[in-house]
A = this chain, B = another copy of it.
Amino acid sequence: MISIAIMGYGTVGAGVAALLEDNKSRVTRAAGTPVDLKKILDLREFPGDRFSSLITHRFEDLLEDPGIRVVCECMGGKTYAYEYTKKLLAAGRSVVTSNKDLVAAHGAELLKLAKQSGVRYLFEASVGGGIPLLGPMSRDLGANRFREVYGILNGTTNYILTSMAESSAEFDVCLREAQDLGYAERNPANDVEGRDTANKISILASLAFGKHVYPESVETEGILGVSHEDILLAESIGCRVKLIGRALLDEEERVYAFVAPHFVSSVNRLAGVNGVFNGVILRADAVGDVMFYGRGAGRMPTASAVAGDVIEAVRTPSSSLPPLWEDGAEISDGSEHVSRWFVRSSVPVDASYFEAFDMISASAFMTGPMKNHDFHRRMDLFRKKYPVVNAFRVLD
Q: Digit string of A280-310 for contact with B (CB within 8 Å is 1, else 0)?
A: 0000111111111111001011011101101
State which of A133-141, A188-196, A255-263 sits at the interface with chain B: A133-141
Name the one of B19, B144, B295, B320 contacting A143, with C-beta atoms under 8 angstroms: B19
Q: Which interface residue of A124, A304, A322 has the most chain B CB atoms within 10 A? A: A304
- A30 touches which of B23, B142, B311, B312 (Cβ 8 Å): B142
Are B132 and A290 in touch, CB under 8 angstroms? yes
B145 close to A140 (CB less than 8 A): no
- Are A301 and B315 interface neighbours, CB within 8 A? no
Of all chain B residues, which has the CB nearest A129? Answer: B287
- Among B31, B136, B142, B210, contact of A136 (Cβ-Cβ < 8 Å): B136
Tell me whether A141 and B145 are in contact (CB under 8 A): no
Chain multiplicity (copies): 2
Chain A 199-214 near chain B by CB (<8 Å), digits 1 or 0: 0000000000010000
Q: Quick one: given A142-B31, A143-B30, are A269 and B293 in contact (CB under 8 Å)? A: yes
Closest chain B residue to A284, Cβ basis = B304
Q: What is the number of residues of chain A that contact chain B, defined by CB distance less than 8 Å? A: 57
User: Would A287 and B140 count as touching, CB distance under 8 A?
Assistant: no
CB neighbors of B among A321-362 (8 A): 321-322
Mark interface residues in A10-40 (1 if CB within 8 Å of B CB, else 0): 0000000001100100110111110000000
A92 at the interface (CB under 8 A from B): no
Q: Which of B27, B140, B286 contacts A300 (CB 8 A)?
A: B286
Main secondary structure of the interface of A (DSSP, over half): mixed
In the complex, A242→B305 CA distance in Å?
Answer: 31
B19 in contact with A304 (CB, 8 Å): no
Whether B311 and A315, one on each chain, are in contact in the complex, defined by CB atoms closer than 8 angstroms, is no
A71 beta carbon closer than 8 Å to chain B: no
Q: How far is the CA of A204 from the CA of B27 in the complex (A)?
A: 19
At the interface, yes or no: A67 with Cβ under 8 Å from chain B? no
Q: Are A23 and B292 in contact (CB under 8 A)?
A: no
A319 interface contact, C-beta 8 A: yes
- Tell me if A130 is interfacial: C-beta within 8 Å of chain B: yes
Interface centre among A31, A131, A141 (most CB of B within 10 A): A141
What residues of B have a CB within 8 angstroms of the CB of A292 in the complex? 290-293
Question: Does A225 have its Cβ within 8 Å of any Cβ on chain B?
Answer: no
Within 8 A of B (CB), among A90-143: 124, 129-132, 135-136, 138-143
Whether, in the assembled complex, A52 has its beta carbon less than 8 Å from a beta carbon of chain B, the answer is no
A381 to B236, CA, bound (A): 49
**Option from B23, B32, B140, B311 in Cβ contact (under 8 Å) with A124:** B140
CA distance A29 to B322 in the complex (A): 6
Task: Provide the residues of chain B in CB contact with A284, threshold 8 Å.
Answer: 304
Interface check A316, CB cutoff 8 A: yes
* A131–B33 CB distance below 8 A: no
Report Cα–Cα, A285/B142, bound state, in Å: 28
Name the contact of A311 in the complex, choosing from B131, B143, B285, B312 (C-beta under 8 A): B143
A350 to chain B, nearest CB (A): 38
22 residue pairs of the A-B complex, CB under 8 angstroms, read: A26-B142, A26-B143, A26-B144, A27-B143, A29-B322, A32-B322, A33-B320, A129-B287, A130-B288, A132-B290, A135-B136, A135-B139, A136-B136, A139-B308, A141-B308, A142-B308, A143-B308, A285-B300, A287-B305, A288-B294, A288-B300, A290-B293
Residues of chain A touching chain B, judged by Cβ–Cβ distance below 8 Å, are 19-20, 23, 26-27, 29-33, 124, 129-132, 135-136, 138-145, 210, 269, 272, 284-295, 298, 300-301, 303-305, 307-308, 310-312, 315-316, 319-322
